[in-house]
Amino acid sequence: MKYDVVVVGGRIGGSVSSLFASRDDVDVLMIEKRQEIGTPVQCAEGTTLSTFKILDMKPSRRFINSYIEGATVYAPDGRALDLEEVTGRNFLDGAGYEGYILDRKVFDKHLAIQAAKAGTDIMMKTTVKDLIRKEGKVCGVVAKHLGKIMEIKADVVIAADGVESNMTRLAGLTSPNQPRDIGSCAQLELVGLDIDPYRLNFYFGRKIAPGGYLWMFPKGEDTVNVGLGVRSNKKTAYQYLNQFISRFDDVTPVELNIGGVPLSGPIDRTYSDGFLVVGDAAGQVDPVTGGGIHTTAFCAKVAGQVAAEAAKKEDTSADVLKKYDDIWRERFGKNLEISLKYRNAADKLTDKDMNALAEFLEKNKMENLSKISAIKFLGKHPNLLKLIKDFL
């Protein structure tokens, strides 16, 4: 078997890479290890309009569960702050609602269907065991389907194989993560939780979600995704989640999702000879929020286009594929770098610091924040002062 581009992984990164490569008229094969695309869900399912803009796609009721108008953040002491009041910014933008809760099972499958319609071949229930190399250049994969091993040649291999990526290690682009760089996440989709269906809720605090936060994302009128990400060796994410949920009476789960989110920012190099990496495998995830849908959508689109262009020109060397790395870093590199700095600084904050910050922000809206009040406040809170200093 021989393809111009082989994409390993069939979620957002894989399908979007495949879609845009296929649109540029090259032969594409996408390989998915599971027998179904989009399951199990490993995502809180929140995204913004930018995802659809990147994909040149209209937000459709088919794969959108709900529209989001605002967000409330709860400090460890329970103080609630509406983000739009604190920042003076509305979540609505000119073109419509900016926040969406996706139905990832439907969305992922929709993207795979678009890729297939554009010409991508898809193999299900197929794992990739190794890379084929010739004189150091990646030129295909060794795959296994129903016990049968097969060699699939390719001009470019795109690794979109997630946080558990073995492709990037085989290509020598990554080494294993430290536990502190992985957000350990658990989520229950709950029926019977009475919250504003147009508002996100975030909870912070060492007792609720140490090293991370808890989210409640309403999926329309009926259900809410309640999940959290933690970095802790005291209890499991699932235990922290159940501990939080025990405060509600009469809620019933209809789905359990779990996952690991890479929070250490992008890997140093997302290309080599005949090889590109996208999505969670490349660490294209915001280290503070753990969100990666729109970054992955953008990076995967560029990866598909650059791979197709290189394959057509019959030069898929690292020098040519570097263009992908350049383009996505130009768009997101700086943001992810700053976000990682924020995460590292925020890791040092105590619950007391966060409570004080919330109290301060409640009293002083950002738009009319005076320098004197800020300096006075920071003088009393050395950890927060350190956090601010890192950015000056």
Partner 1 sequence: MIKYQRDNCGYCGACVAVCPQQILELTENEVTKGIGCDECGNCTIVCPMGAFTREDEP
Q: Which residues pair with 126 in a beta bridge?
A: 145
162 conformational bin, left if phi > 0, alpha if psi -120 to 50, beta if neither: left
DSSP 96: B
- 256 in contact with partner 1 (CB under 8 A): yes
Distances (CA, A) of 55 to 20, 179, 282, 287: 9, 33, 19, 23
How, if at all, do strands 182-191 and 252-262 pair? antiparallel
What's the rounded Cα separation, in Å, for the pair 291 and 47? 8
User: Per-residue string for binding with partner 1, 209-248, x by CB under 8 A?
Assistant: -----------------------xx--xxxx---------
Least Å distance between CB 17 and partner 1? 19
Least Å distance between CB 45 and partner 1? 15
What's the rounded Cα separation, in Å, for the pair 180 and 263? 8
Please select the residue that binds partner 1; options are 15, 184, 272, 295, rule is CB under 8 A: 184
| Residue 159, both tokens | 């690794």
- 182 in contact with partner 1 (CB under 8 A): yes
Instruction: Residue count of the chain, please give it.
Output: 392
Q: Which residues pair with 150 in a beta bridge?
A: 143
Q: Which of residues 332-371 bind partner 1 (CB under 8 A)?
A: none
Please select the residue that binds partner 1; options are 77, 93, 151, 164, rule is CB under 8 A: 164
Least Å distance between CB 235 and partner 1? 9
Q: Which is nearer to partner 1, 230 or 357 (CB)?
A: 230
What's the rounded Cα separation, in Å, for the pair 381 and 379? 6
Least Å distance between CB 262 and partner 1? 7
Least Å distance between CB 290 and partner 1? 13
- 162 in contact with partner 1 (CB under 8 A): yes
Contacts with partner 1: how many residues (CB under 8 A)?
33
Least Å distance between CB 236 and partner 1? 4
Please select the residue that binds partner 1; options are 163, 195, 245, 327, rule is CB under 8 A: 163
- 13 in contact with partner 1 (CB under 8 A): no
- 169 in contact with partner 1 (CB under 8 A): yes
Q: Which of residues 115-144 bind partner 1 (CB under 8 A)?
A: 125, 127
What's the rounded Cα separation, in Å, for the pair 97 and 168? 37
- Following CA atoms 229, 234, 240, 242 in sequence, which dihedral angle do they give, to the nearest 10 degrees? 140
Tell how far CA 255 is from the center of its chain. Answer: 20
- 33 in contact with partner 1 (CB under 8 A): yes
DSSP 35: S
- 177 in contact with partner 1 (CB under 8 A): yes
Q: Which is nearer to partner 1, 155 or 181 (CB)?
A: 181
C-beta of residue 79 within 8 angstroms of C-beta of residue 56: no
| Residue 69, both tokens | 């108008």
Per CB under 8 A, residues contacting partner 1 are 33-35, 40, 42, 125, 127, 162-166, 169, 176-179, 182, 184-186, 232-233, 236-239, 256-260, 262
